Structure 1
Amino acid sequence: MRDILVTLLVLGGLPFALQRPVIGGLMWVWISVMNPHTQGWGFATTFPFAQLIAGVTILSLLKSREKNPLPMTPITVTLIGFVIWMNITTLFAIIPSAAWAQWNKVMKIMLMTFVVMMVIRKREHVRHLIWVLVISLGYYGVKGGIFTVRSGGNQRVWGPLGTFIGDNNALALALIMTIPLMYYLMQELPKRWMRHLMLVSMGLCALAALGSYSRGGVLAIVAMLIFMWKKSRHKLVGAALLILLVPLALVFMPDQWGARMDTIAEYQADGSAMGRINAWHMAFNLACDRFFGGGFSMYEPVTFAMYAPDPSGVHAAHSIYFQVLGEHGFLGLALYLILGFLTWRYAAWIVRHGRGHPDLQWATSLAAMIQASLIGFAVGGAFLSLLYWDVPYYLMVAIMVTRTVVGQQLALAPAPVPTVVPRMPPVSRNVESPQGRTVRPEVK
C-alpha cells in the first residue's frame, strides 16, 4: 500500500512539474530529504524516483518561458568554487574507484542544489520549501517521538535505512534542525488548533532526538535552545519554559540514557569517541601532507596506516570539518567555512534590515530560525559525517532568496521624509551705545 501511495504521488506530480519547474524542485527536495520510498516494502524501495523527478525538473527548466537564471551571489560563486575544487581533488584521490563512486552521488546533489537555486525565486517559494523540509523530517520526528513515549525511552530511535539520516545520531541532528523551522511556521498558522498541533509536533521531535541516544544531538539541542532563547522577545517566559520542560524530559528518559550521556565527560574511556579522535588526527596529518587531500571515501585501512596515530583504529570521519579537511585539504575546508560564514552573514543582514518593517516580519523570523538550525548543524555536525547532506544547502538557498526579496522590498519602500524644523527669526535686543544711550537696532 505504501509503495502504491508513493508511486501515485510522484507520477501524479510529474505533469505539474513539467509545467512549472518550481514544483519539480520542491518534489526533488521532498524525495531526497524524506526518501518516502524507503517506507515501503516492495518495488518502490528500489524504483528510481529521484532520477525521474530530476530529469523532469531539468526538462521543465529548459522548456520554461520563465527566466530562471542562476543567481550569481557570493554564496553561489563560493559553492561553484567548492564544487570545482571537489572535482580537482577527485583526480588526485588515494582510492580512485571509491572516490569516483562517491563523486557520482555528490555531483548529483550539487547539480540539483543549483537547480533548486534557479527555481526558488519568490517569498511563497521559500515558504513552500520550508514546509517541504518540515513535513519530510517532521514525519520521522513525530513517529519517533510517539515511539519514545510508548517505549519509555528504553529503545533507540533510528532514521530511514540507506539514507543520510538513517543513523540515530544523524536523525537526532536532523530533528533538532527541524524544530526552529517548525517554530517559524507555527507563527504563521491562522488557527489556534493548528499552532497547538505544531507545538505538539515540536515536542515529539525533541523527544525523538533524545530517544536516539545521540550525545552529539544533546550538545546540538543545547546550543540551539540557547540561541533561540537569546533571539526570543520574551526571555523570561522562554527561560521559565526551559526550566520547567527540560527537567521533565530528562526525568522521563531511563537510567541507561543518563549513563550514556555521562560518557560525554569521560570520552577517554569511550572506544567510539577515541576512534573519532584517531580519525580526526589522520585527516589532519593527511591534509598537511597532501595539498589536494585524499579525495572522496578515503577512510580506508591504507590511509590510516600512513597517517593515523593508531593505524588499527579505522573509523569514519564523524565530523563535517575533518571530513572536508581529509577529503579536500585545507583549501576545501576554507571554501566550506566561507560558505557557512556567508550564509550566516546573509541571515544577519535580513534580521538587521528587516527589523522595524512589519511587512518583513516573516523574513526576520525565518532568518533567525534558520540561524538556529545552522547553529545546531554546526555543533552536531562536528561529530557526524554529513558534509554532503543536502538540507543545509537548501536552507542556504532559502536565506539567499529571502535576502534578495527583502532587498527588493526595501528598495521599493518610500524613503522616510526628513523632519524640517523651521528657523525662527532673530530676536532684536537693545544695545547700549558708547555714550550710554540705549539704541534700538534697526530691523532689516
Structure 2
Amino acid sequence: MLDLALLGFVALFLLAGLKRPFIWVLAYIYIDIVIPQKIGWSLISSIPLSLISFVAAFGGWLLLDSKKGSSFTLRQGIIGFLLLYCAMTTLTAAYPEAAMTKWSWVWKALLFALFLPLALRTRLRLEATVLIYVLSLAAILIDGGIKTLGSGGGYGELALLVKENSGIYESSIISCAAITVIPLILWLTKHGTIFKPDKRVRLFAAGLIFAALLIPVGTQARTGLLCIAMLGALLLRSVRHRFLFIGLAAIGVLVAIPLLPDSYTSRMDTIADHDSDESASTRIAVWNWTIDYAKQHPLGGGFDSYLANSFTYQTRSVRDVGGTTEVVYDTVTDKGRAFHSSYFEMLGEQGWPGLIIWLWLHLLGIWQMEKLRWLFGKREGGKESWQWGLATSLQQSQIIYLVGAAFVGIAYQPFAYTIIGLQCALWAYVKRVDKESVDAPQPSYARHLKQKPVARHPSTGS
C-alpha cells in the first residue's frame, strides 16, 4: 500500500510535467532529497526514479522549454570544472571500485547544480524551487520532530523515513540540513506568492522551524548545535529589533535546557573536551592523517581515499574506582575512518586543486549574495524586496552549511548544491532584469526630459 501511494504521488508529479516541463525539475529535487524509492518496501525500490526524473528534467528543458533569459554564470563554469576534475581523479583513484560507487551520485549532484540556473528564469520558478526544496526536507523534518518528542531519539537511533543511516538520513547530515533550511522557510513566510503568507502559512512555518530545531536534539549530533549557534548569529545581523531577538533567544535557551534529555547534554559536553570522546578524537586523528596524505598526493587520491588511513591515538576518560576518581588513558588503533569534514574530504579526495576550486565556489557565492544585499539595500525600500530577502536567506543557508561541513563529510551533498544552483539563478536573474530595465525604450516624455537644455542668449534670456 505504501509503495502504491508513493508511486501514485510521483506519477502525478511527472504527469504534470507534460503540461509544464519545468515541473520535472521540481520532481527531481523532491526525489533527490526524499528518496521515495528507499521508503517503499518492494515495487518502488526497483524503479530508477532518480534517473527517470533526471532525464525528464534535462530533456524537458532541452526540447520543450523556452530558453529566453537563460544565461551561463561564472560559478556554473566553476561547477563544470570541478565536475571534470572529479572525473579525472576518479579514473586515477586509489580505490577504483569505491570511487566509482561514490561517483555514481556525485556527478548528478554537480551536473544538476550546473543546469538548474538555466531553468530558473523567472521569480515564480525561483520561488517554486525554494518551496519544493523546503517541503521535501519538511517531509523528513516533521517525521523526525514527532519521533523526537515521542522518544527523545539518540545518536544513530532516531529512525526517520528510511532505515539507512546514510546520505541525507545520516544523523549529522540531516542535523545540518535541518538548520540550513530555516532561513528559506522564513523567506517564504514573508515573500511567498504561491502560498500567500497568512496565519495558516505562518503557523505551519513556525511548526516546521520547531521540528527543524528538534532534529539536532533527536539525532544528538553536535554538528546541529554548532549550526544553530551560527543561525542565531546570522539572524542577529538581519533582524530589525536585535535586542528583542537576543532577549527572546535567551529565554528560549533557558526554557529548553531543562527539557533536554541527559544523553543529549552529555554528548554536547564533548565539544569542549574532545579527548574524552572517541568519535571526536578520531576526527582529529583523521585530519592529521589527511594533511600528511595530501603532502604525498597533492592531486588527491580520488573518492573514498580515506580507506588508506591507519592511526593510533589516545582517549581520556574519568572513572570512579572505589570511591575515588581516576583519569584513565586508553590507546585506540583505527583504520579506514571517514574524513568527518568536508574540507578534509576535498583535500584527501581531490587534493589541493580540488579544495581550492570548492572553496572558490562557496566563497564566491557568499560574496555575490552580499553584493546583491548591498545593491538592493541602497535602493528605496530595497530591504523589503524579495530579491534582498532571498539573497540574505541563501547566504545564511550557505554559511550554516559551511559551518556544519567542517565536522561532517558533505562536500558533494545534493541539498547543498541546490542552494548553489539557486544562488547562481538569482544572480543571473537580477543582472538580466537590471540590464533589461536600462535597455528598455523609454516614453517620449522621458526622452524629452533627458534632452540637453537649449542655451539661453546672455542679453535677451531667450
Please indicate the TM-score interval, normalised by the length of the shorter structure: 0.7 to 0.9
Residues 152 and 317 (structure 1), Cα distance of their counterparts in 2 relative to 1, 3 Å cut: closer
SS at match of 2:41: coil
CA contact (8 A) 2:300 2:350 kept: yes
Residues 357 and 408 (structure 1), Cα distance of their counterparts in 2 relative to 1, 3 Å cut: farther
1:64-118 CA-partner distances (Å, limit 9, x unpaired): 2522797321101111111111112122211122212222221122223333232
- Give the corresponding residue for 1:321: 343
TM alignment of 1:127-138, pairs within 5 A: 127-138=127-138
Kindly state the Cα deviation for residue 174 of structure 1 after the two structures are TM-superposed.
Answer: 1.0
Structure 2, gaps ≥5 residues long: 314-332, 451-462
After superposition, the C-alpha distances for 1:331-359 in whole angstroms (9 at most, x for unaligned) are: 10000000001111111111111123447
Q: 1:123 to 1:70 in 2, by over 3 A?
A: closer
Q: Secondary structure at the match of 2:302?
A: coil
Q: Distance in 1 between matches of 2:65 and 2:206?
A: 41
Cα separation, partners in 2 of 1:412 and 1:97, compared to 1, 3 Å: closer
Find the aligned partners of 2:410 and 2:232 in 1 and give their Cα distance. 21
- The offset of 1:318, in angstroms, is 1.0
Structure-2 change in CA distance of 1:242 and 1:60 (3 Å): same
The CA deviation at 1:271 is 0.9
The match for 1:330 among 337, 345, 352 is 352
Q: Which amino acid aligns with 1:284?
A: I
After TM superposition, give the deviation of residue 158 of structure 1 in Å. 4.4
Which one is further off, 110-119 or 320-329? Answer: 110-119
SS class of match (2:17): helix
Tell me the equivalent position of 2:309. 304
Tell me which of 419, 432, 451 is aligned to 1:408: 432
Shift of 1:242: 0.2
Aligned with residue 346 of structure 1, among 368, 390, 393 = 368
Say whether the 8 Å CA contact 1:180–1:370 is kept in structure 2. Answer: yes
Please, which moves more after superposition, 75-84 or 329-338? 75-84
Q: Name the CA distance, whole Å, in 2 between partners of 1:46 and 1:68.
A: 38
Where structure 1 has 5 or more consecutive residues not aligned to the other structure, the ranges are: 419-444
1:222 alignment partner in structure 2: 229
SS of 2:336's partner is coil
- How many aligned residue pairs are there? 415
Q: TM-score, normalised by structure 2?
A: 0.84
Q: Pairwise mapping of residues 167-186 of structure 1 onto structure 2 (< 5 A)?
A: 167-186=170-189
What is the Cα deviation at residue 298 of structure 1?
1.6
CA shift for structure 1 position 401: 1.5
Q: Which has the larger radius of gyration?
A: 1
Aligned position for 1:394: 418
Aligned partners of 1:292 and 1:263: how far apart in 2? 34
1:19 deviation in Å?
Answer: 4.6
Secondary structure of 1:312 counterpart? strand
Aligned partner of 2:402 in structure 1 is 378
Tell me the amino acid that sits aligned with residue 372 of structure 2.
I
**Does the 8 Å contact 1:219/1:379 carry over to 2?**
yes
What CA distance in whole angstroms lies between the structure 1 residues aligned with 2:130 and 2:82?
A: 25
Cα offset, 1:250, TM superposition:
2.0
User: 2:188–2:197: 8 Å Cα contact kept in structure 1?
Assistant: no
Give the drift of 1:121: 1.7
Q: Which moved more, 1:146-155 or 1:387-396?
A: 146-155
SS at match of 1:190: coil
Whole-angstrom CA distance in 2 between matches of 1:343 and 1:58: 24
1:136-155 correspondence to structure 2 within 5 Å: 136-152=136-152
Q: 1:150: how far off?
A: 2.0
Q: Which amino acid is the alignment partner of residue 282 of structure 2?
A: G
2: CA distance, partners of 1:357 / 1:282: 53
TM-score calculated relative to the size of structure 1:
0.87
In structure 2, do the counterparts of structure 1 residues 229 and 295 end up closer, same or farther at CA, with 3 Å as the change threshold?
Answer: same
Q: Please tell me whether the aligned partners of residues 228 and 369 of structure 1 are also in contact (alpha carbons under 8 angstroms).
A: no
When you count strand as a share of all residues, which structure comes out higher?
Answer: 2
Deviates more, 1:3-12 or 1:322-331: 3-12
- Does the 8 A contact of 1:90 with 1:103 survive in 2? yes
Please tell me whether the aligned partners of residues 275 and 314 of structure 1 are also in contact (alpha carbons under 8 angstroms): no
Counterpart Cα distance in 2 of 1:191 and 1:372: 24
Cα distance in 2 for residues equivalent to 1:66 and 1:395: 23
Distance verdict in 2 for CA 1:70–1:64, change over 3 Å: same
Distance 1:357 1:85, change over 3 A: farther
Question: 1:32 and 1:125 mapped to 2: Cα distance?
Answer: 18
Residue identity opposite 1:5 in structure 2 = A
Q: Determine if the alignment matches structure 1 residue 9 to structure 2 residue 9.
A: yes
Name the CA distance, whole Å, in 1 between partners of 2:105 and 2:197: 40
Task: Give the corresponding residue for 2:267.
Answer: 260
Query: What residue identity is the alignment partner of 2:32?
Result: S
Q: Deviations over 1:391-437 (max 9, x none)?
A: 1111111112112222334345579999xxxxxxxxxxxxxxxxxxx
**Map of 1:276 onto structure 2:** 283
Report the secondary structure of 2:334's partner residue.
coil
2:190 paired with 1:187? yes
Does the aligned pair in 1 maintain the 2:147–2:158 contact within 8 Å? yes
CA contact (8 A) 2:183 2:397 kept: yes
CA RMSD between the two structures = 2.5
* Match in the other structure for 2:247: 240
Q: Give the Å deviation of 1:390.
A: 0.9
Sequence identity of aligned pairs in percent? 26
CA contact under 8 A between 1:348 and 1:367: conserved in structure 2?
yes
1:57 counterpart residue number: 57
